[in-house]
Amino acid sequence: MKRQWISSGSPYEAQIGYARAVKVGDWVFVSGTTGFDYAHMTISDDVAEQAAQCLKNIAAALAQADCTLNDVVRVNYVLPDGKDFEACWPVLRAHFGKAKPAAMMITAGLLDPRMKIEIEVTACQGLD
Protein backbone atom coordinates (compact mmCIF):
# COMPACT_ATOMS: atom_id res chain seq x y z
CA MET A 1 0.00 0.00 0.00
CA LYS A 2 1.31 3.45 -0.88
CA ARG A 3 1.46 6.47 1.36
CA GLN A 4 0.69 9.93 -0.05
CA TRP A 5 1.91 12.99 1.84
CA ILE A 6 -0.13 16.19 1.53
CA SER A 7 1.27 19.62 2.41
CA SER A 8 -0.53 22.88 3.10
CA GLY A 9 2.62 24.94 2.67
CA SER A 10 2.66 25.85 6.35
CA PRO A 11 6.20 26.56 7.55
CA TYR A 12 5.46 24.45 10.65
CA GLU A 13 5.42 21.28 8.51
CA ALA A 14 9.05 21.67 7.50
CA GLN A 15 10.19 23.06 10.86
CA ILE A 16 8.61 20.25 12.89
CA GLY A 17 8.79 17.42 10.34
CA TYR A 18 5.23 16.32 9.56
CA ALA A 19 2.69 16.38 6.75
CA ARG A 20 -0.64 18.24 6.84
CA ALA A 21 -2.24 14.94 5.88
CA VAL A 22 -1.32 11.39 5.00
CA LYS A 23 -3.41 9.20 2.70
CA VAL A 24 -3.09 5.42 2.96
CA GLY A 25 -5.53 3.43 0.84
CA ASP A 26 -8.98 4.99 1.31
CA TRP A 27 -8.03 6.57 4.65
CA VAL A 28 -6.89 10.17 5.13
CA PHE A 29 -5.39 11.32 8.41
CA VAL A 30 -5.27 15.12 8.73
CA SER A 31 -2.88 16.54 11.31
CA GLY A 32 -4.04 18.98 13.93
CA THR A 33 -4.83 22.13 11.97
CA THR A 34 -5.11 25.64 13.36
CA GLY A 35 -6.83 28.76 12.12
CA PHE A 36 -3.85 30.30 10.35
CA ASP A 37 -4.41 31.57 6.83
CA TYR A 38 -1.26 29.95 5.47
CA ALA A 39 -1.13 32.17 2.39
CA HIS A 40 -0.61 35.23 4.61
CA MET A 41 0.40 33.61 7.92
CA THR A 42 -2.31 35.58 9.70
CA ILE A 43 -4.81 34.40 12.29
CA SER A 44 -8.07 35.97 13.51
CA ASP A 45 -8.62 36.85 17.17
CA ASP A 46 -12.13 35.31 16.96
CA VAL A 47 -12.42 31.62 17.87
CA ALA A 48 -15.33 30.96 15.48
CA GLU A 49 -13.41 32.57 12.61
CA GLN A 50 -10.42 30.43 13.53
CA ALA A 51 -12.63 27.32 13.47
CA ALA A 52 -13.88 28.28 10.00
CA GLN A 53 -10.30 28.77 8.78
CA CYS A 54 -9.26 25.43 10.32
CA LEU A 55 -11.99 23.73 8.32
CA LYS A 56 -11.02 25.61 5.16
CA ASN A 57 -7.43 24.37 5.64
CA ILE A 58 -8.63 20.83 6.35
CA ALA A 59 -10.95 20.84 3.32
CA ALA A 60 -8.03 21.90 1.11
CA ALA A 61 -5.93 18.99 2.40
CA LEU A 62 -8.81 16.55 1.95
CA ALA A 63 -9.37 17.79 -1.62
CA GLN A 64 -5.77 16.86 -2.46
CA ALA A 65 -6.70 13.33 -1.32
CA ASP A 66 -9.94 13.31 -3.37
CA CYS A 67 -12.08 13.64 -0.23
CA THR A 68 -14.40 16.23 1.29
CA LEU A 69 -15.53 17.12 4.78
CA ASN A 70 -18.47 14.76 4.16
CA ASP A 71 -15.96 11.87 4.23
CA VAL A 72 -14.83 12.73 7.78
CA VAL A 73 -15.56 9.94 10.27
CA ARG A 74 -13.63 11.21 13.30
CA VAL A 75 -12.84 14.72 14.56
CA ASN A 76 -10.85 15.91 17.56
CA TYR A 77 -11.07 19.48 18.81
CA VAL A 78 -8.43 21.03 21.08
CA LEU A 79 -9.06 24.39 22.72
CA PRO A 80 -6.97 26.14 25.37
CA ASP A 81 -10.20 27.53 26.87
CA GLY A 82 -13.08 25.05 26.86
CA LYS A 83 -15.55 27.91 27.33
CA ASP A 84 -14.79 28.97 23.73
CA PHE A 85 -16.11 25.73 22.26
CA GLU A 86 -19.80 26.69 22.18
CA ALA A 87 -19.02 29.75 20.02
CA CYS A 88 -17.68 27.32 17.38
CA TRP A 89 -20.75 25.07 17.27
CA PRO A 90 -22.58 26.88 14.44
CA VAL A 91 -19.45 26.71 12.25
CA LEU A 92 -18.86 23.04 13.08
CA ARG A 93 -22.51 22.13 12.47
CA ALA A 94 -22.46 23.91 9.10
CA HIS A 95 -19.44 21.86 7.99
CA PHE A 96 -20.11 18.51 9.69
CA GLY A 97 -23.91 18.44 9.90
CA LYS A 98 -24.14 15.90 7.10
CA ALA A 99 -21.14 13.71 7.98
CA LYS A 100 -21.84 13.67 11.74
CA PRO A 101 -18.39 12.27 12.63
CA ALA A 102 -17.51 10.78 15.99
CA ALA A 103 -16.02 13.64 17.99
CA MET A 104 -14.04 14.61 21.06
CA MET A 105 -13.11 18.00 22.54
CA ILE A 106 -10.23 18.43 24.95
CA THR A 107 -8.72 21.44 26.65
CA ALA A 108 -4.96 21.81 26.29
CA GLY A 109 -2.36 24.44 25.56
CA LEU A 110 -1.45 25.07 21.92
CA LEU A 111 1.90 25.98 20.34
CA ASP A 112 1.13 29.68 19.81
CA PRO A 113 -0.96 31.73 22.29
CA ARG A 114 -2.89 33.27 19.36
CA MET A 115 -4.29 29.81 18.52
CA LYS A 116 -7.73 29.30 20.07
CA ILE A 117 -8.66 25.99 18.41
CA GLU A 118 -6.94 23.10 16.66
CA ILE A 119 -8.86 20.46 14.71
CA GLU A 120 -7.70 17.00 13.65
CA VAL A 121 -9.76 14.69 11.41
CA THR A 122 -9.77 11.21 9.94
CA ALA A 123 -11.63 10.63 6.68
CA CYS A 124 -12.48 7.61 4.57
CA GLN A 125 -12.71 8.14 0.83
CA GLY A 126 -15.85 7.07 -0.98
CA LEU A 127 -18.42 7.28 1.82
CA ASP A 128 -21.94 8.42 0.99
Rounded to an integer, what distance in angstroms lies between the CA atom of residue 80 and that of residue 63? 28
User: What integer pLDDT is reported at residue 8 of this predicted model?
Assistant: 83
pLDDT of residue 12: 80
| 3-class DSSP state of 86 | helix
In the chain, the DSSP E strands lie at 3-6, 21-24, 27-34, 72-79, 102-107, 118-124
Q: Report helix, strand and coil shares of the chain as percent, to nearest 5.
A: 35, 30, 35
Residues of the chain with pLDDT under 50: none
Q: Which CATH number fits domain 3-124: 2.40.110.10, 3.40.630.30, 3.30.1330.40, 3.30.365.10?
A: 3.30.1330.40
Please tell me what DSSP assigns to residue 110: -
Residue 27 near residue 123, CB atoms below 8 Å: yes
